[in-house]
Structure 1
């Protein structure tokens, strides 16, 4: 069958018109797939950055500032009550703890706003319990009874137990957070675990041995052989005592006199 050029042109135009919708749908599908992939990638990167910021905030709060606050208040026990060093250490303790609560609050707010909180894992459950305990501990610290009152003993015991427990569980929760971060992002956390372990170990060693330094130094001295060095305050006092002593005339004595003496 002979087909003229005019008929070929008509067939080509009809075929192009029929296939045009399919070509457009295919191209739109590819564009939409590429756009969704790009949007998902951006959203995933933002989620990872939010998780990292959340982890750094809680690391600074529970892993650094709170242990430092406990360490400073323990060191202050060696100082005289009411002395300048004692007051400075106490205010450092308060500053560290207040900053710890503020950073923990920001981290908790980020978690509630940006993350899926189904509370079906140990990290989220511990985090929720820790945040409530931190707020209770802060309230207990602000309502501190004065020294000499009967309630002071109970307050001190509860404040000490709760603070130590919160700090210890908070350190454990940082490790669980690093584990969750590795599961979520498939990024390595070995280096962060090593750094955090070294930091916590240093603080724990100082906490355990800070009140033993003086005792360790005394191990080099044999009891009863300590040389007492007079202070600057004692020297003028002894000189005044020497001036007040009566002067006794001493005569010469021979050997016979010494025998009878």
Structure 2
């Protein structure tokens, strides 16, 4: 018996028989064990993923590269800030991240005075809980959606970027711009296998004080999750239907082709 075979036979790691299933998921399954503890490799992988999730939350969004990419794609931007003064306050006071600070409010009011014509669509980008997701995916997602909306003849406001922003801050932005349709791109709370997940929230006739029941959500937009192309198709379907039905949120069920492919000929949530 050679040295390698002896080492393999005497290893303290007990392999999990489900290990072959790991090829199908990023979830932490079949980690194996050493006595009653995780093997060193699994522990180190956990610590690395945990560090990536923390970095996604605490790393500041790089505004200049984001605005330059949007400008290169042909989109004007407006930079705004929530009432949360810094990241610490943002994490401790979620309510402050849902409203704009007074400087941002005045900025939008002045823009509206100079551009009194109403717009149909406001697209808002908020850093949320993962600046990594916004940095990596927001420009591509915004371009994909806005190009489709432009083909429909809908007037679109400049893209607004809100730092220290949460989902509800988009309602105030859209209300101040006089927009009828709100698309919010936000970094989602990172998981240990998804630090770069982008969320999309859509609201028909947004205004300050709306609850999540008035919003439609498309989640997990990232290379390892839902593709930008698939998310764009789903969002456009929701927008078209919301205009037709004059609603969004729980009153607007996803019966798009993409949903039918997953759940059958119709949405499995709907009654027969």
Output the TM-score relative to the length of structure 1: 0.22
> Radius of gyration: which is bigger?
1
Q: Looking at both structures, which has the greater relative contact order when contacts are Cα pairs under 8 Å and sequence separation is at least 6?
A: 1
**Larger relative strand fraction:** 2
**Larger relative helix fraction:** 1
